[in-house]
């Protein structure tokens, strides 16, 4: 029953894309590609739901031989456990909703049906990535989602910004992927296989390693994590995600908020068993730093989509931090909750943009011509982020929309409350609390400085998140309209767009995440190389909000309920449990405080206007600049390139200020310069040069010999005589 279901889940979207592609070869279009794709997704969703009870406590990989090379074999297959199912549901659910939303949002786009075909392809790739039971399969899905992200970001490729953004996204993630591939190569070289599960799988093999020989394993783990850094836009490879907002908003919602970027977290979670203390710590720190950095940047953005983008980055950092710190379940839980409310936020923003946008003829070529024209001047790929914000996305043009579009407002508010971690009624609170609790718990349990630092990071990030999210809400929906005539255009979106919002809003309440409250539905896989009293630490974590949700709803500490199943209460486990108990209480209190503080400040700043954000900005100008310029990441990368190419810079007509564009252009230009020069030098001078030298020498020799051929017979005779003498001499010599 499992295999057919999964097959359907995979094939339905694939089929919908295949139809489009095949008809495309015949230069035709399927009349209603949108319905086709949406239907396919709904089918997939249904199957995923059916899969819930298929999950067994002992998941067995269902594999087929994919490549047989005699000595080594590669197998492809599915692996179905609770995490898989949850991911499947999340992906199919969000994807279906986004499909529906897009029917309204993308209406009238010249490449309407292509959009849906790509969405289907993406869904297929994502699902394949989710169900794969081996690194190779995961990598395949991994790259395919990358491709789809490329295609969809660049969907309006007439805009140079979009064209740049999609390339940047692909290449940046590719950099990470290479790291991941090297990691895979290391694992393969060690274990001669890439399948994860089963007796021959990597995880079994890892278990057998002595702790002495895991140094390389840490490296491998970190390298694999590089892939996640790329895909999940972690520092330092995060710069592509904000640019990815060039894509249509539904795409941002689906790919760059809910699913694909979360794939990195999913990957790390899947690879949980091979993580060593070192690699875990690296992951946690990267996550923490990302969470902080992105959050702080988000404070000062004005482009509504970019605010959300940075918030996504920071939330992803959160999840990474969680898993790095060992809170496996918490991380995944946050993944799901985040998927819903972030998708909601994006769709909501999309609805807002749509409202503003309605008057412009829908993204038709004419309109792109305008905003692309001024950039198309030169072929170089210059694009200063945030420098020019599309008017319909600039929060400074918004305000007071809550009356105009109440549904959008309410739904987005719910999401905001959820992401800000407003206690008890919102799922975001629970997941975030689990993370904080888990980190702090481990910190206290090991009393390790690292984890305290991580906890601090997470806490601050939580506060800032609350702050900037409400800033968004206030700037967008409250106050007086700042741009009247745009305001007048604004209107509530059609139902086909609003319904998904409502559904997602409902999903932002914990009650629907029941799977997570089924106490042993999720079991974190064993980590063989992390010396920790696993059990004591896992148990409180593994049952979020404890069996029944009602308690927690009424503010009863989760930790209290943790009591009930602290597991075999050895003394150690016992005090471990107490530690976690305390940890969770502290964490919860603190998180509520910071969230409240953040919201309060934001209210004072942007609603009550007690303080002026500008004033603060001016007082803390350097800090502000730091945030505004996104910690000068791009500039830094460019700086490196410049340093690389400073001696050439005069030759470069214009230097490009964005990261991968910089790399590509830079390297491109370096290449065209140095390499072209080098080829010019090497190919033409050294290699050809050598050949030509030889040729010339040969020719010259030919010329010489001609010279001897004077035409005067007596010289010939001299040569004869000389020849005779020479021959005789040679004889005598030898």
Partner 1 sequence: MSLQHYLVISSILFSLGIFAVLTRKNAISILMGIELILNSCNLNFVAFSRFVTPAETIVGSEVFRFDGQIIAIFGIVLAAAEAAVFLAIILAIYREFGSIRPDEVDTLKG
Partner 2 sequence: MEPLKNIESLAYFSPEILLVVFAAAVIIADLLIKNRESELVAYISLVGLGCSLVAILITNSLINSNEPIPLFFGMIRLDGFAVFFKILLLLATAATILFSLRSEELDARLKGEYYALLLAVTFGMFLMASSTNLLMIFISLETVSLTSYILAGFLTHSPRSSEAAFKYITYGAVASGTMLFGLSMIFGMAGTGDLSQISSQIASVLASGGVSTLSVLIAITFILAGIGYKIASVPFHMWSPDVYEGAPIPITAFLSVASKAAGFALFLRFFHVGFGKPEILQSIDWGFILAIVSALTMTVGNLAALPQRNVKRLLAYSSIAHGGYLLMGAVLLTPEGLGAIFFYLIVYLFMNLGAFYVVVLIANEAGTEMIDGYRGLATRAPLVAGAMAIFLFSLTGIPPLAGFFGKWVLFYAVIGEGLYWLAFIGLLNSVVSLYYYARIVKAMYFETSEDTNGLSFSTGTFALLSVFAIPTIFIGLLNIFYTFSDKITLQ
Partner 3 sequence: MLLSLMIFVPLLGMIVVLLLPRESEELIKRATLAFTLVPLVLAVVLFVSYDRSSAGTQYFVNVPWIDAFNINYHIGIDGLSVTLLLLTALLGPICVLASWRNIEKGLKAYMALFLLLETGMLGFFAALDLFLFFVFFELTLLPMYFLIGVWGGPRREYAAIKFFLYTLFGSVLMLVAMIAVYLNSNVINGVAEGVRTFDIPTLITLAGTTGHALADSTFQMWVFLGFFIGFAVKVPIFPFHTWLPDAHVEAPTAISVILAGVLLKMGTYGIVRINMAMFPEGLAIFTNGVGFWGNSLALLGFINIVYGSFCALAQTDFKKLVAYSSIGHMGFVILGLAAGNSAGINGAILQMFNHGVISAMLFLLVGVLYDRAHHREINGFGGIATKMPVYTGITTLAFMASLGLPGLSGFVGEALSLLGAFQEFELITILSTIGIVVGAAYFLWTLQRVFLGQLNPKYEDLPEINKREILTLVPLGILTIVLGIWPNFALDMFSESVTNLVNVLDAI
Given the rule CB under 8 A, which residues bind partner 2?
695, 698-699, 701-703, 705-706, 708-709, 711, 713, 715-717, 719-720, 722-724, 726-728, 730-732, 734
Shortest distance, position 725 Cβ to partner 2, whole Å: 9
Q: Which two tokens stand for residue 418?
A: 């959820």
Least Cβ distance, residue 710 to partner 2 (angstroms): 9
Q: Map residues 3-42 to x or -, x wherever contact with partner 3 holds by CB under 8 A.
A: ------------------x--xx-x---------------
Does position 638 bind partner 3 by CB under 8 A? Answer: no
| Cα–Cα distances in angstroms (integers) from residue 71 to residues 68, 74, 75, 192, 459, in the given order | 8, 10, 13, 9, 51
Nearer to partner 3, 169 or 436 (CB): 169
| Cα 468 from Cα 487, distance rounded (Å) | 23
Q: Measured from the CB atom, is 68 or 200 closer to partner 3?
A: 68
567 binds partner 3 (CB under 8 A): no
Judged by the rule CB under 8 A, the positions of this chain that interact with partner 1 are 706-707, 709-714, 717-718, 721
712: alpha, beta or left? (left if phi > 0; alpha if psi -120 to 50): beta
> 61-64 — which CB contacts under 8 Å span 24+ positions?
61/133, 61/195, 61/196, 61/197, 61/198, 61/201, 62/2, 62/3, 62/133, 63/133, 63/134, 63/195, 63/198
Which residues ranging from 58 to 77 are in contact with partner 3 (CB under 8 A)? 65-72
User: Is the separation of the CB atoms in 158 and 152 below 8 Å?
Assistant: no
Q: Shortest gap between Cβ of 708 and partner 1 (angstroms)?
A: 10
- Among 99, 167, 231, 306, the residue binding partner 3 under the rule CB under 8 A is 167
Q: Least distance from C-beta 72 to partner 3, angstroms?
A: 6
User: Which of the choices partner 2, partner 1, partner 3, none does residue 216 contact, using the CB cut-off of 5 to 8 A by kind?
Assistant: none
**Residue 35 binding: pick among partner 3, partner 2, partner 1, none (C-beta 5-8 Å cut-off by kind):** none
| Nearest-approach distance from CB 728 to partner 1, in angstroms | 15
Between the CA of residue 710 and those of 109, 706, 714, 716, what are the distances in Å? 82, 7, 10, 8
Closest separation in Å from C-beta 362 to partner 3: 16
Residue range at the interface with partner 3 (CB under 8 A); choices 174-182, 499-507, 600-608, 609-617: 174-182
What tokens were used for 572?
């150690």
To the nearest whole angstrom, how small is the minimum distance from the Cβ of residue 664 to partner 1? 56
CA angle 429, 435, 440 (to 5 degrees): 120
Q: Which of partner 1, partner 2, partner 3, none binds 699 (CB below 5-8 Å, type-dependent)?
A: partner 2
> For residue 50, how many other CB atoms are within 10 A of its CB?
15
| Least Cβ distance, residue 113 to partner 2 (angstroms) | 51
Nearer to partner 2, 1 or 713 (CB): 713
Residue 318: closest CA among 272, 340, 173, 310: 310
Nearest residue to 561 via CA among 583, 539, 579: 539
Token output for 557: 């500490």
Give the DSSP per-residue string, 579-621. Answer: HHHHHHHHHHHHHHHHHHHHHHHHIIIIII-SS-HHHHHHHTH
Least distance from partner 3 to the Cβ atom of residue 671, Å: 4
d(CA 484, CA 442): 52
DSSP 151-199: HHHGGGTTSHHHHHHHHHHHHHHHHHHHHHHHHHHHHHHHHS--B-SST
Measure the CA–CA gap between 126 and 257, rounded to whole angstroms: 13
How far is 626 from 12, CA to CA, in rounded Å? 47
Total residues contacting partner 3 by CB under 8 A comes to 65
What's the number of CA atoms in the CB half-sphere (13 Å) around residue 28? 8
Letters for 108-147 (x = contact with partner 3 by CB under 8 A, - = none) are ----------------------------x--xxxxxx--x
Asked whether position 188 contacts partner 3 by CB under 8 A, the answer is yes
Give whichever of 219 and 512 is closer to partner 3, judged by the CB atom.
219
Among partner 2, partner 3, partner 1, none, residue 728 binds (CB under 5-8 Å by kind)? partner 2
675 scored as a contact of partner 3 (CB under 8 A):
yes
Region at 611 (left for phi over 0; alpha for psi -120 to 50; beta for the rest): beta
Q: How, if at all, do strands 62-69 and 72-78 pair?
A: antiparallel
Tell me which DSSP letter residue 81 carries: -
From the list partner 1, partner 3, partner 2, none, partner contacted by residue 687 (C-beta under 5 to 8 A by kind): partner 3
663 contacts partner 3 (rule: CB under 8 A): yes
- Residues of this chain that bind partner 3 (CB under 8 A): 21, 24-25, 27, 65-72, 136, 139-144, 147, 150-151, 154, 157-158, 160, 162-164, 166-167, 170-171, 174-175, 178, 181-182, 184-186, 188-189, 365, 369, 372-373, 376, 379, 381, 663-664, 667-668, 671-672, 675-676, 679, 683-684, 686-688, 691
């Amino acid at each position: 029953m499992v295999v057919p279901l999964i097959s359907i889940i995979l094939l339905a979207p694939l089929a919908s894309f295949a139809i489009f592609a095949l008809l495309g070869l015949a230069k035709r279009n399927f009349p209603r590609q949108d319905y086709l794709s949406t239907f396919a997704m709904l089918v997939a969703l249904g199957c995923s739901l059916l899969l819930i009870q298929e999950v067994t406590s002992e998941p067995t990989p269902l594999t087929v031989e994919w490549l047989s090379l005699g000595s080594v074999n590669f197998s492809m297959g599915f692996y179905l456990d609770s995490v898989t199912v949850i991911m499947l549901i999340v992906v199919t659910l969000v994807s279906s909703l986004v499909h529906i939303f897009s029917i309204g949002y993308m209406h009238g786009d010249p490449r309407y049906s292509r959009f849906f075909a790509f969405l289907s392809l993406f869904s297929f790739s994502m699902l394949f990535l989710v169900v794969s039971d081996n690194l190779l399969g995961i990598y395949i899905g991994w790259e395919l989602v990358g491709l789809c992200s490329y295609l969809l970001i660049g969907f309006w490729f007439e805009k140079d910004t979009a064209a740049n953004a999609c390339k940047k996204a692909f290449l940046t993630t590719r950099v990470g992927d290479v790291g991941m591939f090297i990691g895979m190569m290391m694992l393969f070289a060690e274990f001669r296989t890439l399948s994860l599960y089963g007796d021959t799988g990597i995880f079994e093999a890892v278990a057998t390693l002595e702790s002495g020989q895991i140094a390389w394993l840490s490296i491998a783990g970190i390298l694999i994590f590089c892939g996640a850094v790329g895909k999940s836009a972690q520092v330092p490879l995060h710069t592509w995600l904000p640019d990815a907002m060039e894509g249509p908003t539904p795409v941002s919602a689906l790919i760059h908020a809910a699913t694909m970027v979360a794939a990195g977290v999913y990957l790390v979670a899947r690879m949980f068993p091979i993580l060593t203390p070192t690699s875990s710590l690296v992951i946690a720190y990267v996550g923490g730093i990302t969470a902080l950095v992105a959050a702080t940047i988000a404070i000062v953005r004005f482009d509504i989509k970019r605010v959300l983008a940075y918030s996504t980055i920071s939330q992803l950092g959160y999840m990474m931090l969680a898993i790095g710190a060992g809170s496996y379940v918490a991380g995944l839980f946050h993944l799901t909750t985040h998927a819903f409310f972030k998708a909601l936020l994006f769709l909501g923003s999309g609805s807002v943009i749509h409202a503003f946008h309605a008057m412009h003829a829908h993204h038709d070529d004419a309109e792109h011509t305008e905003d692309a024209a001024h950039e198309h001047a030169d072929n170089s790929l210059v694009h200063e982020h945030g420098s020019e914000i599309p008017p319909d996305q600039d929060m400074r043009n918004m305000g007071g929309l809550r009356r105009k579009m109440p549904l959008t407002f309410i739904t987005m508010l719910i999401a905001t409350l959820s992401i800000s971690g407003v206690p008890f009624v919102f799922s975001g609170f629970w997941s975030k609390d689990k993370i904080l609790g888990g980190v702090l718990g481990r910190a206290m349990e090991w009393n390790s400085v690292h984890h305290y630092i991580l906890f601090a990071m997470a806490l601050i990030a939580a506060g800032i998140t609350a702050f900037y999210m409400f800033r968004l809400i206030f700037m967008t929906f409250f106050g007086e309209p700042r741009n009247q005539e745009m305001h007048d255009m604004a209107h509530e979106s059609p139902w086909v767009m609003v319904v998904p919002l409502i559904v997602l809003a409902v999903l932002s309440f914990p009650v629907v995440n029941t799977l997570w409250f089924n106490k042993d539905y999720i079991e974190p896989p064993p980590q063989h190389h992390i010396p920790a009293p696993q059990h004591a630490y896992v148990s409180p974590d593994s049952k979020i909000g404890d069996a029944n949700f009602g308690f927690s709803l009424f503010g009863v500490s989760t930790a209290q309920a943790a009591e009930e199943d602290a597991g075999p209460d050895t003394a150690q486990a016992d005090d471990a449990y107490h530690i976690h108990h305390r940890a969770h209480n502290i964490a919860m209190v603190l998180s509520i405080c910071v969230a409240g503080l953040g919201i309060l400040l934001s209210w004072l700043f942007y609603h009550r206007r007690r303080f002026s954000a500008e004033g603060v900005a001016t007082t803390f100008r350097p800090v502000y600049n730091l945030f505004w310029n996104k910690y000068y990441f791009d500039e830094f990368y460019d700086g490196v390139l410049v340093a690389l190419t400073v001696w050439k810079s005069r030759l470069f007509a214009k230097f490009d200020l964005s990261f991968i564009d910089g790399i590509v252009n830079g390297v491109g230009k370096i290449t065209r310069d140095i390499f072209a020069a080098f080829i010019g030098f090497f190919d033409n001078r050294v290699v050809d040069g050598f050949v030509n030298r030889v040729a010339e020498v040969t020719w010259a020799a030919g010329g010489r010999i001609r010279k001897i051929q004077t035409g005067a017979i007596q010289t010939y005779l001299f040569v004869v005589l000389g020849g005779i003498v020479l021959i005789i001499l040679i004889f005598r010599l030898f």
